[in-house]
């Protein structure tokens, strides 16, 4: 991936666990493995700097951060759209996805041993029963469940809301922006000013 501003993000305070490199995601397929991309977290260098700025807080709280998505090759995004074609889950085109520009990450906090903190949903609102329904072309129950991923969802436990709100405050105080319908998604602003990055199995 030459002549881009993407960097491979690796740091012991962060757990790289790209969900689309494994099967237990809402598509049920390891799409990143299928295209030869694998479990790598590339991000724009500006994103990397902001992530590294989180380290003092992570150390103070004895947390780690799990990164479940970062840069997403456009060819992978297209495959994801083919598997879940219903609007409202993936951006309508790779060009409209922050991930394909390297300007977004999907994250949660973990304890020092890598156990995820409790949130209203898993990242991507993953649950195996909904994955099976989606695989059969049945999206309705999952999209009802997906409402729990909103930042204004209040029918969760106090701890889940506390963890969700702490993550939001942490990320926004270090230069990230949130989106209202996914508690795990954070990006830097004005992604349209960052070019979409193509990938051709060259890493």
The string of pLDDT tens digits covering residues 11-20 is: 999 999 999 9
The CATH number of the domain where 173 resides is what?
Answer: 3.30.1380.10
**Structure confidence by residue, pLDDT tens digits, 150-202:** 999 999 999 999 999 999 999 999 999 999 999 999 999 877 789 999 987 64
Residues spanned by the domain of 11:
6-193
Number of folded domains in the chain? 1
**Structure confidence by residue, pLDDT tens digits, 66-101:** 999 999 999 999 999 999 888 888 999 999 999 999
Cα dist. 71→15, 18, 44, 130 in Å? 15, 10, 8, 25
Alpha-carbon span 127 to 62, nearest angstrom: 28
Q: Is 202 within a domain? A: no
Q: Is 112 within a domain? A: yes
pTM for the full predicted model: 0.94
Q: Is 153 within a domain? A: yes
What pLDDT does 158 receive?
98
Q: Is 119 within a domain? A: yes
Q: Is 32 within a domain? A: yes
Contacts of 84 (CB under 8 A, 6+ apart): 26, 27, 90, 134, 139
């Amino acid at each position: 991936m030459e002549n881009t501003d993407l960097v491979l993000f690796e740091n012991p305070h962060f757990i790289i666990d790209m969900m689309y490199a494994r099967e237990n995601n809402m598509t049920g397929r390891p799409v990143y493995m299928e295209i030869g991309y694998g479990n790598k977290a590339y991000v724009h260098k500006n994103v990397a700097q902001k992530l590294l700025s989180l380290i003092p807080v992570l150390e103070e709280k004895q947390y780690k951060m799990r990164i479940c998505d970062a840069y997403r090759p456009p060819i992978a995004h297209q495959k994801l759209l083919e598997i879940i074609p219903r609007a409202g889950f993936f951006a309508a085109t790779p060009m409209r996805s922050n991930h394909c520009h390297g300007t977004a990450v999907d994250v949660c906090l973990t304890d020092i041993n890598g156990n995820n903190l409790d949130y209203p949903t898993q990242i991507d609102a993953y649950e195996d029963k909904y994955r099976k329904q989606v695989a059969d072309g049945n999206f309705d129950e999952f999209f009802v469940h997906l409402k729990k991923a909103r930042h204004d969802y209040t029918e969760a436990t106090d701890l889940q809301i506390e963890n969700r709100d702490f993550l939001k405050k942490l990320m926004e105080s270090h230069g990230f922006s949130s989106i209202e319908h996914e508690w795990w998604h954070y990006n830097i602003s004005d992604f349209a000013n960052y070019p979409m990055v193509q990938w051709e199995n060259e890493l």
